Amino acid sequence: MRRHLSKICLLVSLILCAVVSLLQGYIGAYYFQIIIYIGINTILASSLNLINGFAGQFSLGHAGFMAIGAYTSSIITATLHLQPGSPISHLIFTGALLAGGLMASLFGLLVGIPSLRLKGDYLAITTLGFGEIIRVLIQNMDFLGAARGFSGVPKLANFFWVYAIAAILIFFLYNLINSTYGKGFLAVRDDEIAAEATGISATRLKVVAFVTGAFFAGIAGGLYAHFVTYINPSQFGFLRSFEIVVMVVVGGMGSIPGVILAAILLTVLPEALRAIAQYRMVIYAMLLIIIMLVRPQGLFGAGINIKRYFKKSTEPV
């Protein structure tokens, strides 16, 4: 019954996406852009939630996966000179997004492997380094436009694409976390040794979390590239990774609705604060500090406190 309910929810939201998509011309360009960013950030934050919140692997390199997805899909669509609107363009765009996602998950595998040996802050630093390596590599690759950026990406992403993918991801995460297989992630996060002792392969699940999270981050990158039509390495810097982590932490690690709420809030907030110009980021930062002081477990905290990720293990060996 419950499973059917989530399927119905998915169907309804997909139809809603299509309907709103038809009406997107009536929405002002500025607001429309914010709405799209909310969708993309929801995908990014939710996919990171799988790695950080569910599997408990503190990763700071999500922008790196996003960049890989953005560049991979952009190369495909730009070299094919796709014209937005033709039916074939949607098909190829799907393929390009998937290719971007797969490429990102391949790198997710590469990062997932060190995560088997590293914990807490060490893993955070390693993944942070990974994100920066990706950015610097792209900056030095001439065929990707290097620091000039990559322009001429066709504007293929629209409301439907972004929100349909967000809905699918949320559906996927929801069902995953209510399945025995998915609860294995939570078990690994709570106690790795106990998880191993009950027959869960922590090694495997950690890598699966990285690969899956990176896949959706890559798709989000592809959507982003095909919405802004111009990408350059500085868009995928460490600050972007950090923004995504903040969304997960503020929303509550391991909480699906919390992270969505945080993605909406933290996308809208900087825009809403534009009125106060130069004090904008000060207020933004202060709000974050207040939220963390009042609710260290996040807005919708699933009871997991951010502090425990940086606690030293007391386990013997």
Partner 1 sequence: MLVIENLRICYGAIAAVRGISLKVESGRIVTLIGANGAGKSTTLRGICGLVKAVTGKIMFEENDITNLPPHKIVAAGVVMAPEGRMIFANLSTRENLEMGAYLRKDKKEINRDIDYVFTIFPKLKERINQPGGKLSGGEQQMLAIGRAILARPKLMLLDEPSLGIAPILVKTIFRKIVDINKELGTTILLVEQNAHLALSIADYAYVLETGELCLEGKAADIAGNQQVRKAYLGES
User: Considering only CA atoms, which of 25, 309, 83, 267 is closest in space to residue 166?
Assistant: 267
Interface with partner 1 in residues 219-258 (CB under 8 A): 254
> Which range binds partner 1 by CB under 8 A, 118-126, 148-156, 161-169, 187-195?
187-195
Can residue 1 be called a binding residue for partner 1 (CB under 8 A)? no
Tell the burial category of 268 from Cβ atoms under 10 Å away from its Cβ (0-12, 13-18, 19+): middle
Which DSSP category does 144 fall into? G
Can residue 316 be called a binding residue for partner 1 (CB under 8 A)? yes
Tell me which of 24, 86, 151, 201 binds partner 1, using CB under 8 A: 201
Can residue 296 be called a binding residue for partner 1 (CB under 8 A)? no
> Which range binds partner 1 by CB under 8 A, 76-84, 122-130, 167-175, 185-193?
185-193
Tell me which of 35, 63, 124, 304 binds partner 1, using CB under 8 A: 304
Radius of gyration (Cα) for the chain, nearest Å? 19
| Strands, E assignment, 55-176 | 150-151
Please identify, using beta-carbon distances, which residue of 187 and 249 lies nearer to partner 1.
187
Q: Could you tell me the smallest distance in angstroms from the CB atom of residue 212 to partner 1?
A: 18
Can residue 135 be called a binding residue for partner 1 (CB under 8 A)? no
How far is it, in rounded angstroms, from Cα 210 to Cα 130?
Answer: 13
Please identify, using beta-carbon distances, which residue of 165 and 205 lies nearer to partner 1.
205
Tell the burial category of 266 from Cβ atoms under 10 Å away from its Cβ (0-12, 13-18, 19+): buried
Task: Confirm if 97 and 82 have CB atoms less than 8 A apart.
Answer: no
Query: Which residues of this chain interact with partner 1, rule CB under 8 A?
Result: 180, 183-184, 186-187, 189-191, 193-201, 203, 254, 302-304, 316-317
